[in-house]
Every structure is written in structure tokens, then in C-alpha cells.
């Protein structure tokens, strides 16, 4: 399998256009979650390597910022085409290190390319203003300028597309980058280095460093040359990084955890709700920050929904991402399985009923059965904590007001979904949900054209949409006097 992907699989850092090892020569192993077998290694880098990567990005910024927007647009279009021309090998590399089905991996590569194209286009529309002046002898203009060196720290659940929506706007705006990918899935990030090199990005515009999260993170957060940190990952790590970035007053964008509610009202189309529930829950084996964490179902349709969801869940095909027809791959590692097990045990001990799955899958390793848990109550762990696995707890509610209150009873506020056939209710609930993104009668809502992001402790800023480039630009006000 890997022979086909070896062209993109680099086992080195990319710094200033050179593929290099850690100073100490130390490495980290990368394993395939479906087999537990080692795929290869990457450098175990720390502060010194990161500092050099930042300095390379700063040097490249001095010339990259002066390129025309059209020049950058053309390079981004080439990058888009190169990604799509290599969709299959890039998807295979992604499945090998991450575990998701090849169909989902191909989808992720396609959306990565789509983000690049979107920001290639948005880069041409970063207008400034000419402002009516209160002074007869002075004129006021504003322009947008690239922020500078951007650092991106990314997670293992979408190792390609989480970078696409950071690199796309950074490059389009004229920023240069230092990337630190998750250690579980570094190869899909390193592949961005290969692609950028091959389509002709200047050296140093993208730098990639793998290794110790805390050392690389510390250097990124405290180095004054880095002007912005964009992070996707857990809320705990996000909070730590915001604190560390305070020392140099960096801009920060944070895509953090979620606790997505999925509400089904008595007046909903239940079959459509079940269809939406399957994608909103089991995509990427439940390992996305917008995956449903809690199903809240009105009493009148509760039993019917549970029965249909359990039947649909039991029909999901679990297996290696490379097997034809696989709908659910393994979880990322043993720790993830232990967490899911703990949540299921906690629910069972508190009186919940397991109506589908409920245990480790017969395939062994980090495979877990797609699971539905009925009679969930707010005292159970998944009311407050992110499951990040294929477990669907179903709570019962009586009234609309109770449903919205339960849905909002969390410090998170990323995505929420609800199903109803009533127009008035659709507006009331949509306006009542304290979330950054809401799907009404839809379970899969992410697209490059729309702003992705959360409120409350789910994050700061938006990625994608026309909003997604704003954080990569500073507004400069210029006053021309003496006219």
C-alpha cells in the first residue's frame, strides 16, 4: 500500500526549503491505527529546530509579501490542481496514518483542494476603503496587509483539511507559515510541503516541524517573529496556548472542542433525522469536533427514533479504511478506545440501556462497535464531556424550552443540529441555540463557502467563508494630509 504513497511520505522537517532531521537525530514512530504497525518515523524536534523554521519563514516573508495578489492566486490554483491530480495517493497516505475509510479520505483531500481554490479567489477580494473625510485637506484610506509569520498547530482527525483552511488564507494574504502537525498523523502535513515545493512556492513560505508538542508550542508562542497562531485541537491545550501567546500579544484563532446537541422534535421527519444522525455521529468514527455528542429527542418520537437509529447503526460496516465498503475505521489509538469504554461503562452504571454495539469490536486493536445508548441522563459523562468516538447517547425531553436549555447547558458552543417540520419552531430554536453553527434538518454542514467556528469555549475566529481570510490581514489606516 505504501509504495504507492511513498512519493508524498517525507520523514523529515521542511525548513527554509530543505528537508532536514532533528538536531539530535532523534525520531518518533508513526503507526497505522488499523494494524498497529509502524509506518515510518519523523524527526523529534524541539525549540532550536522550531526557531530556525520561524526565522526561515520571516526571511521568506520579506519577499513573499511583495508578490502580487495575482501571482499568489495563480500559485494557489496550481496547488489546487496538484492536490486533485494526486487525490488517490494523498488519500491513501491519510488512511494509512489516520484510519478513516478511503472514501472519507478522498473526500477530505477534495475539500482541502476546495479550500485552496476558495482562498485563491478570496485573496483577490481583500478590499480596503476610501473613507469620507471630516477634514477638507485630508483623505482617509485603509488597506489590508499580511499579518506576517503564521504558526499553525493541527490535530490528527483531519490532518489535511485542517491545514488547508489555515494555509489557504495565509498564502493568499501574503503570509508565510510554520506548521506543527499532530504526531499521530504528520505525513499528510508533510505532503503539503512536497506539493508546495512541486508547484513552485518559494523556499521558506511553508515550513513544517514535527516532534515535541510542548517544546515546539512554547517556541511558537513566545517567539516575537510569529505574529499569529492558528490552532485546532482540544479546549485545554487551546487555553494554554492563548495564555502563552499573551507574552507577545499574538493574534490567535482557536478551533476547540465541541459538545454538539442533535435535537429531534415530535414534528420532525424521523427517517431524515436518522439519516442526518448517522453522518453527524459516525463520520470519521465519531472523531470530529462537530460530531453529535448528545441526541435530545422529544418524548412522542423517542422510541421510534431510538429503534431506527439502533437499526441503522448496527448496519454500519466496520473495518480497515482500505476495505471496500468500510463506513467506520478504527479509533486513532488505544487511549481513545479506553475513553469511549469508560463513557459507556459510566452510562451503564447509571442505568442507561445499550441498544446497539457497546464494546470493543471483534476486529481488535482500536476498533470499537458503533454504539447507541438509550435512556441517557444529564448525570452521565457525555452530558459534559466530548466523547470523540462512535457512541450515540439518546436523552428524552418533553418541551421545546427544556430541549434548548439542555442543548445550551455546556461551556461549549461549536455545532448544533435540530430536526423539525414547524417553521416557527425552526426560527425560535435556531435563535435560542448558543452555537457558532446550526444545521436545521441537516446533519452535515461544513463547506468551504461557509464560516466554520464556535462561540463560548469552542473557540475564537472563523475558518472558511469570506470571513476566513480576515484574521490573516491587518488593517492599516493611512491619513493623507496637506492637500
Measuring CA to CA, which residue among 76, 250, 244, 23 is closest to residue 151? 250
* CB of 61 vs ligand ADP, minimal distance in Å: 22
Residues 108, 91 contacting (CB under 8 angstroms): yes
d(CA 415, CA 433): 10
Q: Of the two residues 11 and 222, which places its CB atom closer to ligand ADP in the complex?
A: 222
* CB of 52 vs ligand ADP, minimal distance in Å: 18
**How far does CA 51 lie from the centroid of its chain?**
25
d(CA 431, CA 437): 11
* CB of 84 vs ligand ADP, minimal distance in Å: 26
Residues with Cβ within 8 Å of residue 460, at least 6 apart in sequence: 252, 253, 254, 453
Q: Of the two residues 28 and 199, which places its CB atom closer to ligand ADP in the complex?
A: 28
* CB of 335 vs ligand ADP, minimal distance in Å: 9
Residue 255 designated active-site: yes
* CB of 453 vs ligand ADP, minimal distance in Å: 16
**How far does CA 360 lie from the centroid of its chain?**
26
Which residues in this chain contact ligand ADP in the complex, by CB under 6 A? 153-155, 180, 182-183, 213-214, 217, 233-234, 237, 240-241
Q: Could you identify the residue written with the cell 441555540?
A: 433
What does the block give as the cell for 181? 502537525
Q: Of the two residues 245 and 274, which places its CB atom closer to ligand ADP in the complex?
A: 245
Q: Of the two residues 126 and 230, which places its CB atom closer to ligand ADP in the complex?
A: 230
Q: Could you identify the residue written with the cell 476498533?
A: 367
* CB of 237 vs ligand ADP, minimal distance in Å: 3
Q: Nearest to ligand ADP by Cβ — which residue?
A: 217
Give me the phi and psi of 469, to 5 degrees please. -100, -15
Measuring CA to CA, which residue among 64, 395, 138 is closest to residue 261? 395
Q: Of the two residues 178 and 241, which places its CB atom closer to ligand ADP in the complex?
A: 241
Measuring CA to CA, which residue among 209, 179, 191 is closest to residue 8? 191
In a 3-state reduction of DSSP, which class is residue 391?
strand
Instruction: Please say whether the dihedral angle defined by the alpha carbons of residues 404, 410, 411 and 416, taken in this order, is positive or negative.
Output: negative
Instruction: Please say whether the dihedral angle defined by the alpha carbons of residues 396, 382, 107 and 330, taken in this order, is positive or negative.
Output: negative
Q: List the catalytic residue out of 104, 215, 255, 400.
A: 255
Give me the active site residues, please: 255
Amino acid at each position: 500500500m505504501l509504495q504507492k504513497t511513498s512519493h508524498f511520505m517525507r520523514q523529515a522537517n521542511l525548513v527554509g526549503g530543505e528537508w532536514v532531521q532533528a538536531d539530535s537525530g532523534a525520531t518518533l514512530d508513526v503507526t497505522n491505527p488499523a494494524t498497529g504497525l509502524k509506518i515510518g518515523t519523523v524527526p523529534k524536534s524541539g525549540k532550536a529546530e522550531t526557531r530556525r523554521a520561524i526565522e526561515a519563514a520571516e526571511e521568506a516573508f520579506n519577499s513573499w509579501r511583495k508578490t502580487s495578489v495575482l501571482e499568489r492566486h495563480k500559485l494557489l490554483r496550481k496547488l489546487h490542481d496538484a492536490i486533485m491530480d494526486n487525490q488517490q495517493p494523498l488519500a491513501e497516505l491519510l488512511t494509512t496514518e489516520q484510519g478513516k475509510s478511503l472514501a472519507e479520505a478522498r473526500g477530505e483531500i477534495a475539500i482541502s483542494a476546495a479550500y485552496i481554490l476558495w482562498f485563491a479567489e478570496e485573496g483577490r477580494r481583500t478590499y480596503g476603503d476610501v473613507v469620507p473625510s471630516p477634514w477638507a485637506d485630508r483623505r482617509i484610506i485603509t488597506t489590508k496587509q499580511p499579518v506576517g509569520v503564521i504558526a499553525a498547530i493541527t490535530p490528527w482527525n483531519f490532518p489535511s483539511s485542517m491545514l488547508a483552511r489555515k494555509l489557504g488564507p495565509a498564502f493568499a494574504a501574503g503570509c508565510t507559515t510554520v506548521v506543527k502537525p499532530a504526531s499521530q498523523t504528520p505525513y499528510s502535513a508533510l505532503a503539503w510541503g512536497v506539493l508546495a515545493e512541486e508547484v513552485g512556492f518559494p523556499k521558506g513560505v511553508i515550513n513544517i516541524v514535527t516532534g515535541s508538542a510542548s517544546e515546539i508550542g512554547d517556541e511558537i508562542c513566545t517567539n516575537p517573529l510569529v505574529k499569529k497562531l492558528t490552532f485546532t485541537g482540544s479546549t485545554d491545550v487551546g487555553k494554554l496556548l492563548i495564555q502563552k501567546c499573551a507574552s507577545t500579544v499574538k493574534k490567535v484563532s482557536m478551533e476547540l472542542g465541541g459538545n454538539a446537541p442533535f435535537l429531534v422534535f415530535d414534528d420532525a421527519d424521523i427517517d431524515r433525522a436518522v439519516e442526518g444522525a448517522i453522518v453527524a455521529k459516525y463520520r470519521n468514527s465519531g472523531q470530529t469536533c462537530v460530531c453529535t455528542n448528545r441526541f435530545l429527542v422529544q418524548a412522542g418520537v423517542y422510541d421510534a427514533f431510538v429503534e431506527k437509529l439502533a437499526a441503522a447503526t448496527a448496519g454500519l460496516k466496520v473495518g480497515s479504511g482500505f476495505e471496500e465498503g468500510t463506513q467506520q475505521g478504527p479509533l486513532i489509538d488505544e487511549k481513545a478506545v479506553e475513553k469511549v469504554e469508560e463513557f459507556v461503562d459510566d452510562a451503564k452504571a447509571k442505568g442507561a440501556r445499550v441498544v446497539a454495539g457497546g464494546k470493543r469490536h471483534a476486529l481488535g486493536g482500536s476498533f470499537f462497535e458503533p454504539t447507541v445508548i438509550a435512556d441517557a441522563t444529564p448525570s452521565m459523562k457525555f452530558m459534559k464531556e466530548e466523547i470523540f468516538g462512535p457512541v450515540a447517547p439518546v436523552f428524552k425531553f418533553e418541551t421545546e424550552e427544556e430541549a434548548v436549555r439542555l442543548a445550551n447547558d455546556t461551556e461549549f458552543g461549536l455545532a448544533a443540529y435540530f430536526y423539525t417540520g414547524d417553521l416557527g419552531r425552526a426560527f425560535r430554536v435556531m435563535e435560542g441555540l448558543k452555537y457558532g453553527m446550526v444545521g436545521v434538518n441537516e446533519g452535515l454542514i461544513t463547506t468551504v463557502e461557509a464560516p466554520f467556528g464556535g462561540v463560548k469555549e469552542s473557540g475564537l475566529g472563523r475558518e472558511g467563508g469570506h470571513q476566513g481570510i480576515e484574521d490573516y490581514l491587518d488593517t492599516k489606516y493611512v491619513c493623507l494630509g496637506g492637500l
